[in-house]
Amino acid sequence: MPGVFAPLPPVPDHPALEREVLERWDAERTFERLREQNRAGPRFSFIDGPITANNPMGVHHAWGRTLKDVFQRYKAMRGFHQRYQNGFDCQGLWVEVEVEKALGLNSKREIEEYGLAEFAERCRERVAHFAEIITEQSKRLGMWMDWDADYYTFSDTNIEYIWRFLKVVHERGWLYQGHRATQWCPRCGTSISQHEVYSGEYKELDHPSLYVRFPLTDSEGESLVVWTTTPWTLPANVAAAVRPDAEYGRTAEGEWYAVGCLPDREFVERVTGADLVGRPYRGPFDDLAAADDVRHRVIPWDEISLDEGTGIVHIAPGAGAEDFELGRVHGLSVLIPIDESGAFYDTYGPLAGLAAEDAEGPVVESLRERELLVEAGRIVHRYPTCWRCSTPLLFRVVDDWFISAEEIRQPMLEANATVEWTPAFYSKRMDDWLRNMGDWNISRKRYFGLPLPFYPCACGHLTVIGSRDELERRALRGVDGLRELHRPWIDDVVIACEQCGEEVPRVPEVGDAWLDAGIVPLSTLGWQSDEVVPGGYGTGAAEGLTSADLPDHAYWEEWFPADWVSEMREQIRLWFYSISFMSVTMVGRAPYRRVLTFEKLQDETGREMHRSWGNAIAADEALDRMGADVVRLLFSEHVPSQNLRFGYGPAHEAKRRLLTLWNSASFFVTYANIEEWRPAWGQTPASEHSLDRWLVARTNRLLTDLTDAYERYWTPDVTRAFDAFVDDLSNWYIRRSRRRFWDGDTAAIETLWWSLVQAVRGIGPVMPFLADHVWRNLVAGACKEAPDSVFLAGWPEVGAVDEDLLAEVADVRRVVELGHQARGDTGIKLRQPLRRAYVRGADGARAHAAEIGDELNVKEVHFDEGPVARAQLKPNLRLLGPRLGQRLRDVKAALDADEYEELAGGGVQAAGEELAPDEVLRGERLAVEGFAVAQDDVTSVALDTALDEELLREGRVRELVHRLNAMRREVELELTDRIVVTLSAAEADLADGYEGWIKDETLAVEVRVGQTLAIEKV
């Protein structure tokens, strides 16, 4: 039978269905039409945090991209006009490191030999390549974006906007060059800023643990003992620190330690740390040229911990951050032992050229020879590594460029107070970060990144260039070859100092990549841009990659700040921080009104995903094997403030749950086709049948809940509301209405159609493929006037919710559930009718006695009578012991004997004592003779389990009908086929009195008696 609706297969093939929908969206320009439809609507401004176009998209990216798409789709269904601009992050260390790997380059020297122009070209190619791949993956995920108008952070336009920011920062006096010890990656050859150190991993690393003697030179035979895990820093030692208020002791061997560190040692002399301060000692590597002018001495330091080590700390200001600060306070020499690549400088004698980690052996050997080594062991401890290449970080003293955070801190805190965070507690996380943020280290000693427009002249004047125009005006030479604002081309441009007129080259450094992403709320929206330049954003390296316009200031006014942004929680100290920093600096406001943030993605056992551990799931694989809707459902149903366990197990479970919806749709299609029923677009059900009225109310409740959850940007409530609805639809409405569908009741068909359609519209943002697939079948294919996509149909109108009716049916369902539970406890099959059920505490169910009887297969349902199962009570000794003392024994005996009375409010009266609810512990419910009882806090259902002749016979009839229908399915009869039934002699008695029933229930035209039970199609 062809029918109006396409029959559904038993199980949906998600990936196949999704590819079909993608093709249709493409062919029918669904997204473009949606945008046209909403063009005059109210604005919803979303700003995309850029994804790094450096590798294929990972499943963790798919999480964020799903959430972005869910809410953009929801807003679109509500008629909002949106920008849909996707962003790619394109430059900086992450791209460089991958290109280095691909080219087999291993150091900065090798990059320079390869050639910076070639290197920049390769970086751009990599970005272009992966931008394309990520675009295809995102489309496959169902993400609707304006894919021809992406922003690329390496466009000259973006770079110029950052230059403007840097110029303003300089004018305000926040820009400075800092000489300080910073974490350094010897492989990448650059310093690593505070937020990057957090992004890196702390690894459990095995390091040496050395106790080293520093001989005091003012007293023969005495020495300080220090502890270190970084032998490479010993040649840079200039001081030893002690805690002035701590007690120090000298052993018989002449070694000084903090007493607190070695409480069991015997000391021949004890002094305070303050007494040791100022004493001179011989350094561990005094014979090296580097140590020539160093006068080693003991200095005070209050921060020394006595939990580990010796309480005497070796200080090397050129190789540690705290050491450097102490060095400043005490005017110590700064010995910088290692160069950019982490190798010792020439002035370090036999160590020259060795990598820091390779110096361990020679250092230990040399100390041992000179009898300075007290003890050498190993220690495994947590140690920071480079976030890009995993190399353990070192400390180096270098000159970096910083933006002072002091003046912007308070305005940023105030701006954050205007932002609504979801979940709300992340607002405080942001505040914490802002309160503690250090100055922003913006320089990287690298190649393919934002060229810092700093031109420091020998005369002391610093010129900061704010635009390409300005650069060209000020340039003495080099602009002719300036094809884009990147190294090496920009390095050829030399300007004249605005103070003294001397020639000044640019500093070699490039910028922190968070500058690139941080400027986006200004650069992509055309802040202070005079006119719209069509295609004007795709400049420099971005030329040819995007047709994004450069809008004008009026546009910026319309779209800034973003109504909503959404990124991972770690972006608090990265993107949320950098866009806030730059926006508050330039325009004095937060760049976003609302944020949804989410935690980390793990594998399904709760471990982090790593390609090298073999537990990572590639996004392509997830989309191909699970289907995009299922992937999106997993992300949407998850509470975003908790880590998400992602994998095939949860995906399988989600698919299984989706079957309930699928089966309901399939059920509808089956019976609607039998009746050749055809819907009209816009029709709403008007049936007066109580189940239909209930389903309409239930559907409106769903839409109310969904609207509320979407408006709160809280997808877990979206999926929870949807799941509960689907359960009600299938396990109540359809189950209760089966017979009406068999009978071809078009009111039921119409109501079910309407309800399914509304539900599918409501879940569309989460599962766009399934929703549009079902829409196509149930609506667009059947009604000519209907929009051809669910996304063009707008958000469904939500009717009034009949709360009383919903409450009634909720009561009924609770009674039925308890009734089933009680039956389950007795082991009496549902097909066996029972005589009576007694219900207490479900007032709403009173009008539905027949339905309850039908559901529970009982003849009579009585309200507010019948037995209640009492619980075995025990006294709460902790509370009652002190209160009752001797009398407790009587109370306990009364409770044991079940001699007590329940009081209103949950208390109990026993042995003349009134016991509060918390003074009794409720154990198992006691069985009631002759009844099966189940109850919750409010409601109890008791089934009379006595069976008489008549009940038993009816039970057999039901069993028979069940078998006959199973036989119908076995021989694959159509639902409408009629049969002749033959009963065996053993069942012959059932025809008497039940023949009509058997015929009705099995679509039989005749019931005969013969040898064996059989059916035959007529």
Query: Is residue 497 part of the contact set for Zn ion (CB under 5 A)?
Result: yes
d(CA 762, CA 149): 29
Query: Is residue 185 part of the contact set for Zn ion (CB under 5 A)?
Result: yes
Query: Is residue 459 part of the contact set for Zn ion (CB under 5 A)?
Result: yes
Q: Provide, rounded to whole angstroms, the least separation between the CB of residue 463 and Zn ion.
A: 8
Q: Provide, rounded to whole angstroms, the least separation between the CB of residue 193 and Zn ion.
A: 13
Q: Provide, rounded to whole angstroms, the least separation between the CB of residue 497 and Zn ion.
A: 3
Q: Provide, rounded to whole angstroms, the least separation between the CB of residue 341 and Zn ion.
A: 11
Query: Is residue 106 part of the contact set for Zn ion (CB under 5 A)?
Result: no
Q: C-alpha distances in angstroms, 672 versus 665, 747, 749, 977?
A: 10, 11, 6, 17
Q: Provide, rounded to whole angstroms, the least separation between the CB of residue 356 and Zn ion.
A: 14
Q: Pick the closer one to Zn ion by CB: 196 or 745.
A: 196
Candidates 389, 618, 947, 980: give the one binding Zn ion (CB under 5 A).
389
Q: Provide, rounded to whole angstroms, the least separation between the CB of residue 461 and Zn ion.
A: 5
Q: Pick the closer one to Zn ion by CB: 393 or 412.
A: 393
Q: Pick the closer one to Zn ion by CB: 502 or 865.
A: 502
Q: Pick the closer one to Zn ion by CB: 195 or 655.
A: 195
Query: Is residue 680 part of the contact set for Zn ion (CB under 5 A)?
Result: no
Helical H runs in 791-859? 803-826, 849-856
Query: Is residue 212 part of the contact set for Zn ion (CB under 5 A)?
Result: no
Piece in contact with Zn ion (CB under 5 A), picked from 239-247, 455-463, 572-580, 824-832: 455-463
Q: Pick the closer one to Zn ion by CB: 141 or 386.
A: 386
724-753 positions binding Zn ion, by CB under 5 A: none
Q: C-alpha distances in angstroms, 681 versus 772, 783, 959?
A: 16, 6, 43
d(CA 986, CA 990): 9
d(CA 570, CA 200): 12
Q: Pick the closer one to Zn ion by CB: 455 or 838.
A: 455
Q: Which long-range contacts (CB under 8 A, 24 or more apart) does 258-263 make?
A: 258/304, 258/306, 258/310, 258/311, 258/312, 259/311, 260/306, 260/311, 261/306, 261/308, 261/309, 261/310, 261/311, 262/310
Q: Provide, rounded to whole angstroms, the least separation between the CB of residue 398 and Zn ion.
A: 15
Q: Provide, rounded to whole angstroms, the least separation between the CB of residue 456 and Zn ion.
A: 9
Query: Is residue 462 part of the contact set for Zn ion (CB under 5 A)?
Result: no
C-alpha closest to that of 774 among 798, 797, 799, 752? 752
Query: Is residue 95 part of the contact set for Zn ion (CB under 5 A)?
Result: no
Q: Pick the closer one to Zn ion by CB: 391 or 663.
A: 391
Q: Provide, rounded to whole angstroms, the least separation between the CB of residue 236 and Zn ion.
A: 22
Query: Is residue 461 part of the contact set for Zn ion (CB under 5 A)?
Result: yes
Q: Provide, rounded to whole angstroms, the least separation between the CB of residue 459 and Zn ion.
A: 3
Residues 420-449 vs Zn ion: string with x where CB under 5 A? Answer: ------------------------------
Q: Pick the closer one to Zn ion by CB: 249 or 384.
A: 384
Residues 602-621 vs Zn ion: string with x where CB under 5 A? Answer: --------------------
Q: Provide, rounded to whole angstroms, the least separation between the CB of residue 192 and Zn ion.
A: 8
Piece in contact with Zn ion (CB under 5 A), picked from 489-497, 673-681, 774-782, 893-901: 489-497
Query: Is residue 505 part of the contact set for Zn ion (CB under 5 A)?
Result: no
The DSSP call for residue 779 is I
Label residue 710 exposed, middle or buried (CB < 10 Å: 0-12, 13-18, 19+).
buried
* Helices 116-141/14-28 angle, 10° precision: 110
DSSP letters, 559-616, are H-SBSBEEEEGGGGGTHHHHHHHHHHHHHSS-SBSEEEEE--EEETTSPBP-GGGT--
Q: Provide, rounded to whole angstroms, the least separation between the CB of residue 201 and Zn ion.
A: 12
3-state secondary structure 938-984: CCEEEEECCCCHHHHHHHHHHHHHHHHHHHHHHCCCCCCCCEEEEEC
What end-to-end distance do the CA atoms of the chain give, in Å?
19
369-388 positions binding Zn ion, by CB under 5 A: 386, 388
Q: Record the tokens describing residue 465, joined without a space.
A: 């260039």
Query: Is residue 499 part of the contact set for Zn ion (CB under 5 A)?
Result: yes
How many Cβ atoms sit within 10 Å of the Cβ of residue 946? Answer: 11
Q: Provide, rounded to whole angstroms, the least separation between the CB of residue 88 and Zn ion.
A: 22
Q: Pick the closer one to Zn ion by CB: 97 or 1007.
A: 97
Q: Provide, rounded to whole angstroms, the least separation between the CB of residue 484 and Zn ion.
A: 26
Label residue 589 exposed, middle or buried (CB < 10 Å: 0-12, 13-18, 19+).
middle
Piece in contact with Zn ion (CB under 5 A), picked from 389-397, 666-674, 772-780, 954-962: 389-397
Q: Provide, rounded to whole angstroms, the least separation between the CB of residue 498 and Zn ion.
A: 8
Piece in contact with Zn ion (CB under 5 A), picked from 34-42, 207-215, 493-501, 634-642: 493-501
Q: Pick the closer one to Zn ion by CB: 392 or 640.
A: 392
3-state secondary structure 191-205: ECCHHHHHHCCEEEE
291-292-293 Cα angle (round to 5): 100
Cβ-contact 837, 944 below 8 angstroms: yes
**Count, residues near Zn ion per rule CB under 5 A:** 14
SS3 of residue 112 by DSSP:
helix
Q: Provide, rounded to whole angstroms, the least separation between the CB of residue 195 and Zn ion.
A: 15
Q: Pick the closer one to Zn ion by CB: 397 or 504.
A: 504
Q: Pick the closer one to Zn ion by CB: 96 or 567.
A: 96
Token look-up 């920008």 returns 83
Query: Is residue 418 part of the contact set for Zn ion (CB under 5 A)?
Result: no
Q: List all residues 6 or more positions away from 485 whose beta carbon is below 8 Å from its beta carbon.
A: 156, 159, 160, 451, 468, 540
Piece in contact with Zn ion (CB under 5 A), picked from 178-186, 402-410, 566-574, 670-678: 178-186
Residues 981-1000 vs Zn ion: string with x where CB under 5 A? Answer: --------------------
Q: Pick the closer one to Zn ion by CB: 296 or 445.
A: 445
Candidates 188, 354, 665, 759: give the one binding Zn ion (CB under 5 A).
188
d(CA 356, CA 213): 21
Q: Provide, rounded to whole angstroms, the least separation between the CB of residue 185 and Zn ion.
A: 3
Query: Is residue 814 part of the contact set for Zn ion (CB under 5 A)?
Result: no
For 90, list phi and psi in degrees, rounded to 5: -130, -15
Query: Is residue 187 part of the contact set for Zn ion (CB under 5 A)?
Result: yes
Q: Record the tokens describing residue 228, joined without a space.
A: 């270190």
Piece in contact with Zn ion (CB under 5 A), picked from 179-187, 196-204, 850-858, 980-988: 179-187
Q: Pick the closer one to Zn ion by CB: 459 or 680.
A: 459
Q: Record the tokens describing residue 446, joined without a space.
A: 């690298």
Q: C-alpha distances in angstroms, 254 versus 251, 266, 269?
A: 5, 11, 9
d(CA 133, CA 849): 61
Cβ-contact 284, 372 below 8 angstroms: yes
Q: Pick the closer one to Zn ion by CB: 14 or 126.
A: 126
Looking from the CA of 379 toward its CB, the CA atoms found within 13 Å total: 16
Q: Provide, rounded to whole angstroms, the least separation between the CB of residue 188 and Zn ion.
A: 3
How many Cβ atoms sit within 10 Å of the Cβ of residue 476? Answer: 12
Query: Is residue 500 part of the contact set for Zn ion (CB under 5 A)?
Result: yes
Candidates 225, 430, 434, 457: give the one binding Zn ion (CB under 5 A).
457
Cβ-contact 551, 529 below 8 angstroms: yes
Q: Pick the closer one to Zn ion by CB: 450 or 457.
A: 457
Q: C-alpha distances in angstroms, 243 versus 228, 247, 608?
A: 17, 8, 41
Report the interface residues with Zn ion, using CB under 5 A.
185, 187-188, 386, 388-389, 391, 457, 459, 461, 497, 499-500, 502
